[in-house]
Amino acid sequence: MFEFKKIIGAMLMPLPLLGIACVVCLCMTFRSNKVLSLIGLLAISCLLLISTPFFAQKIISPDTQLHYAFDVNKHTTLDKIVVLGCDINPNPHLTANSQLGNCAKSRLVEGLRLAYKYPNSQLIVSGGGIGKVTNSSLMRQTAISLGVNATRIKQNPSAMDTADEAKLLAPALVDFKVALVTSANHMTRAKSLFNAQGIEIIPAATDYYDFSAWPIHKQFIPSAGVLKAVTSQWHEVIGKAWISLRRWLDPEAL
Q: What is the CA radius of gyration of the chain?
A: 21
Task: Report how far residue 198's alpha carbon sits from residue 79's, in angstroms, rounded to the nearest whole number.
Answer: 16
Q: Is 200 helix (H, G, I), strand (E, B) or coil?
A: coil
Q: Could you give the C-alpha distances from 45 to 55, 154, 222, in angstroms and in order?
A: 12, 47, 11
The band of 252, judged by pLDDT with boundaries at 50, 70 and 90, is: confident
Instruction: Indicate the residue type of 81.
Output: I
What's the mean per-residue pLDDT of the chain?
91
Task: Order across the sheet with 80-83: list the strands.
Answer: 153-156, 122-126, 80-83, 178-183, 201-206
* % the chain with pLDDT above 70: 98
More confident residue, 19 or 142: 142
The pLDDT score that the predictor gives to residue 117 is: 97
Q: What are the E-state strand segments in the chain?
A: 80-83, 122-126, 129-130, 133-134, 153-156, 178-183, 201-206
Task: Report how far residue 73's alpha carbon sits from residue 180's, in angstroms, rounded to the nearest whole number.
Answer: 17
Give the dihedral sign, CA 49/232/95/117. Answer: positive
Please state the pTM of the whole predicted model: 0.89
Question: Residues 108-153: pLDDT tens digits?
Answer: 999 999 999 999 999 999 999 988 899 999 999 999 999 999 999 9
Q: How many residues does the chain have?
A: 254
Q: Name residues whose C-beta falls within 8 Å of residue 33's C-beta, 6 or more positions apart in sequence.
A: none
Give the mean model confidence (pLDDT) for residues 163-177. Answer: 95
Question: Residues 27-45: pLDDT tens digits?
Answer: 888 778 888 888 888 889 9
Could you give the dihedral angle defined by the CA atoms of residues 30, 33, 35 and 36, in that order, rounded to the nearest 10 degrees?
-90
Give the mean model confidence (pLDDT) for residues 10-14. Answer: 76
The band of 5, judged by pLDDT with boundaries at 50, 70 and 90, is: low
Could you give the dihedral angle defined by the CA atoms of residues 25, 31, 32 and 37, in that order, rounded to the nearest 10 degrees?
50
For residue 1, is pLDDT > 80? no
The pLDDT score that the predictor gives to residue 4 is: 66
